[in-house]
């Protein structure tokens, strides 16, 4: 920076001040992890989650988290992202830096950065701004599968995980990628990974690291369909309990059992040795939350060709099931996501971009 002479005229000093202010404004995206700063948004703040992007009834609240500061974040498939500070919702869309208003996955990393997985790729919020994090094109395979034009895009980031070592995993339309803090790599291109079944790990709906450090992948819709895939640090293997190749959810309970939600043939539990079908009554969907008390929460079965659901949500305490539906104050729409906050409130995301809170006694609608 040029040192200005103390005897420079008042006019020159004012010009210099203006220049410095401009430079500071241009470099603000380099300031990281100051999450106490108020994020800038071009959208209005509201006391409820309000749709502004003209999303359809089939769009939903798909993912979310509670950050280290206590703020709740919710990703939607048509309205971008909402941040709730306990009083107001602030909406973030493509105008604020998102690559798309359709957000399928979300993660807060160990440094406090928040990652958004959209249909157009990855974005990261560093406490000041939302910036794209591009997977280099030269490590991505050429995709010609017709499913990518009919049902999804290869850039969609369906799932995210940061493992115990700090590595961040991304399940995308064309495979699984890893980020070590500096570079992206394609997981299956690692020569050290034994892949005897020639798995491709496309369309991974969710990723989970269990208490033993194994990484589990839930293979989604075509061109996925590989069932439950596990990486033990050396080999990647696959199985299809119940004959279901499309797995929607993986949850680990307090005992270390893994619960899997199948798309077509119900749910099953893995105890470390065997997969067992989980007996269920009509109306129960997939396991989508294990709360701090150890209860397992299921969504309701989805009605065919509609956005509504059968049976609301179910809570399983290990012995009995309790149902909550419209008569309890729940939405009629299909439940896509659930989150427990630090105060043990359960947040429920539904289709029609609905958001509800359950405090253990009653439901409150936080959307309009």
Phi, then psi, of 107 in degrees rounded to 5: -155, 140
pLDDT tops 50 at residue 58: yes
Q: What is the pLDDT of residues 284-302, one digit of tens each?
A: 899 999 999 999 999 998 8
Residue 124 in any domain: the answer is no
- Please give the residue range of the domain that contains residue 255: 136-278
CA distance 358 to 203: 31
- Per the domain annotation, does 88 fall within a domain? no
Mean pLDDT of all residues in the chain? Answer: 87
Q: How far apart are CA 224 and CA 86, in angstroms?
A: 38
pLDDT exceeds 70 at position 31: no
- Whether residue 262 is contained in a domain is answered as yes
28 has a pLDDT exceeding 50: no
- For residue 221, what is the DSSP state? T
Count of structural domains, the chain: 1
pLDDT, tens digit, for every residue of 115-167? 999 999 999 999 899 999 999 999 998 877 888 777 678 899 999 999 999 99
Evaluate whether residue 117 is within a structural domain: no
Q: Distance between CA 125 and CA 40 in Å, rounded?
A: 11
pLDDT digits (tens, 9 = 90+) for 176-235: 999 999 999 999 999 899 999 999 999 999 999 999 999 999 999 999 999 999 999 999
**Is 191 among the domain residues?**
yes
Position 34 confidence tier, pLDDT thresholds 50, 70, 90: very low
Residue 216 sits in a domain whose CATH number is: 2.130.10.10
pTM of the full predicted structure?
A: 0.87
* Domain-embedded: residue 22: no
Spatial separation of the C-alpha atoms in residues 332 and 351, rounded to whole Å = 9
**Across 309-318, average pLDDT:** 91
d(Cα 324, Cα 1) in Å, to the nearest integer?
64
Task: Tell whether 21 is covered by a domain.
Answer: no
Question: Could you tell me if residue 219 is inside a domain?
Answer: yes
């Amino acid at each position: 920076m040029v040192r200005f002479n103390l005897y420079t005229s008042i006019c020159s000093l004012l010009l210099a001040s203006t220049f410095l202010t401009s430079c500071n404004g241009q470099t603000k995206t380099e300031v990281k992890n100051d999450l106490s700063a108020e994020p800038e948004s071009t959208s209005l703040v509201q006391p409820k989650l309000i749709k502004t992007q003209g999303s359809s009834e089939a769009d939903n609240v798909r993912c979310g988290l509670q950050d280290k500061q206590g703020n709740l974040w919710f990703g939607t498939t048509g309205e971008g992202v909402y941040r709730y500070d306990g009083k107001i919702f602030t909406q973030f869309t493509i105008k604020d830096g998102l690559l798309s208003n359709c957000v399928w996955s979300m993660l807060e990393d160990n440094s406090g950065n928040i990652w958004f997985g959209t249909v157009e790729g990855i974005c990261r919020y560093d406490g000041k701004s939302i910036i794209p994090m591009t997977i280099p094109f030269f490590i991505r395979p050429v995709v010609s599968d017709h499913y990518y034009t009919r049902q999804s895009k290869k850039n969609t980031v369906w799932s995210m995980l940061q493992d115990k070592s700090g590595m961040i995993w991304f399940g995308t339309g064309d495979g699984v990628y890893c980020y070590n803090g500096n570079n992206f790599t394609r997981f299956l291109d690692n020569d050290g990974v034994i892949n005897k079944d020639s798995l491709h790990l496309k369309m991974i709906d969710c990723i989970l690291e269990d208490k033993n450090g194994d990484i589990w992948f839930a293979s989604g819709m075509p061109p996925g369909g590989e069932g439950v895939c596990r990486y033990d640090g050396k080999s990647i293997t696959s199985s299809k309990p119940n004959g279901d190749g499309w797995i929607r959810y993986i949850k680990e309970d307090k005992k270390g059992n893994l619960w899997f939600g199948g798309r077509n043939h119900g749910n099953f539990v893995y105890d470390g040795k065997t997969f067992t079908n989980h007996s269920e009554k009509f109306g129960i969907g997939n396991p989508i939350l294990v709360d701090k008390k150890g209860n397992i929460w299921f969504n309701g079965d989805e009605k065919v060709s509609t956005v509504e659901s059968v049976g609301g949500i179910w809570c399983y305490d290990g012995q009995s099931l309790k149902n909550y539906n419209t008569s309890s104050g729940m939405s009629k729409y299909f439940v896509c996501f659930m989150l427990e906050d630090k105060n043990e409130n359960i947040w429920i995301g539904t289709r029609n971009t609905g958001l509800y809170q359950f405090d253990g006694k009653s439901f409150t609608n936080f959307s309009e």
